[in-house]
Structure 1
């Protein structure tokens, strides 16, 4: 496979970090973005240890909710590497709280980070890809973007939203040489539940049993890497009962609703 320029947001931990290592081993040039520059530098060092030269990795801190800064970040990538072949919109935050206990500010943050931030960066990158008639846009959605689950009303709403946006975007741009992939993870062993928002906006700080028993993050990244390289339109990844829920939703929505309630 020839080397490409791959931009990963949420690259400082979890799926983003593991995916960066997959692309590094493949020899792809990397742009690593998240808010925590020190953690990005740590990941960049791991990517260099995996075989990339110093000038093949760009650490580019950003906050996806700062829309005004995003065109400048895109230009920085273009100035460094001359193009963007693949954007992996992977920044995000989850939620663990009942609707009745969740402050509206928590819902607002989930939408700002998980939906509007992904849209804003995609819109900033899209003109470049359309102008050259090639490129690949992707987003990390979730099984929660297909299935409703308790304690995650805002997270499910956000992930359903990005799934809808990127499916619609694909219909607009696929005929112009731009591919669009939605990544649909189930339970993956990361810190997602520990870093999730509680009802008052504080960190949930606990690990879910389902997350603890989920797929290894490196195994997940390998599946996603292969799916992105193949330009699959949708990339489900996981190994637990939640993956079966994707099929149950299609075959018998009523059965799934009963299961979710339990």
Structure 2
């Protein structure tokens, strides 16, 4: 896919993976619609990107407010006349055990990570189906394949994402709309700092694995050729995560025995 003149709507664009994709896609000539809750941070990203601000639309969006999605989608379509790619990247993680976690925390994780992506996708899909062209991308996670301690809500939401978008892909073949699940492992972003704890407060620190991981920019460079080729599922991980995915396929029992002794924060 040639991104020159194409329109890409990115959620979670104010930092981390979303911001890194914004930089890369701007360099490739795309028109960008940048969304997250933090308008000031989005404006900062816009100012970082380059001189041609006519190719960038800042569109604040809260994924916990689905009632705003229809109006936000109309505004997004008005910006450049079409949406060629929707990149569902907004999300939040978790660091707390099942026994201690409030149900409201689980609901918030599902609202942002699952219902946010599903709801926005449903708004954009009719436009893509009508044009017989489009690409839906959703940032899942290795946690969408493998569950570990203190991430039950996060992993549950990402498992739900995997199931929904795998089903959606089957329905979209006939409409020439591609669906890509991006499954990163540890990436050096603020996702662990912003993760929810048992009472909904922020975890506030970066875990060892994230500290040592690839940067968001490095991850985007690795996956961009596969994104461009509209691959259906993309993994970008370290060695241990790749090994865990392989072991999961061969022997879930063995993987569980290994994981119970591993540090997960």
Q: TM > 0.5 between the two?
A: yes
1:117, 1:77 → 2: CA distance? 16
Match of residue 32 from structure 2: 30
Match of residue 112 from structure 1: 111
Match of residue 124 from structure 1: 123
3-state secondary structure, aligned to 1:91: coil
Equivalent residues of 1:224, 1:235 under 8 A apart:
yes
**Once the 2 structures are TM-superposed, how far is the Cα of residue 125 of structure 1 from its aligned partner?**
0.3
Is 1:87 aligned to residue 101 of structure 2?
Answer: no
TM-score by length of 2: 0.95
2:20, 2:239 → 1: CA distance? 20
Q: Quick check: 246-255 or 147-156, which moved more?
A: 246-255
3-state secondary structure, aligned to 2:50: helix
1:9, 1:137 → 2: CA distance? 12
**Once the 2 structures are TM-superposed, how far is the Cα of residue 219 of structure 1 from its aligned partner?**
0.6
Q: Structure 1: 5+ residue runs without aligned partners?
A: none
Q: Structure 2: 5+ residue runs without aligned partners?
A: none
Cα-Cα RMSD: 1.0
Match of residue 74 from structure 1: 73
**Once the 2 structures are TM-superposed, how far is the Cα of residue 220 of structure 1 from its aligned partner?**
0.5
Match of residue 135 from structure 1: 134
Is 1:11 aligned to residue 10 of structure 2?
Answer: no
2:175, 2:242 → 1: CA distance? 32
1:33, 1:12 → 2: CA distance? 7
3-state secondary structure, aligned to 2:214: coil
- Aligned in 2, Cα 1:175/1:144: closer, same or farther, shift over 3 Å? same
**Once the 2 structures are TM-superposed, how far is the Cα of residue 2 of structure 1 from its aligned partner?**
4.5
TM-score by length of 1: 0.96
**Once the 2 structures are TM-superposed, how far is the Cα of residue 238 of structure 1 from its aligned partner?**
2.0
2:242, 2:191 → 1: CA distance? 18
Note the alpha carbon deviations across 1:107-127, whole angstroms, 9 max, x for none.
010011110011000000000
Note the alpha carbon deviations across 1:150-196, whole angstroms, 9 max, x for none.
01000000000001110110011122110000000000000111100
Equivalences, count:
259
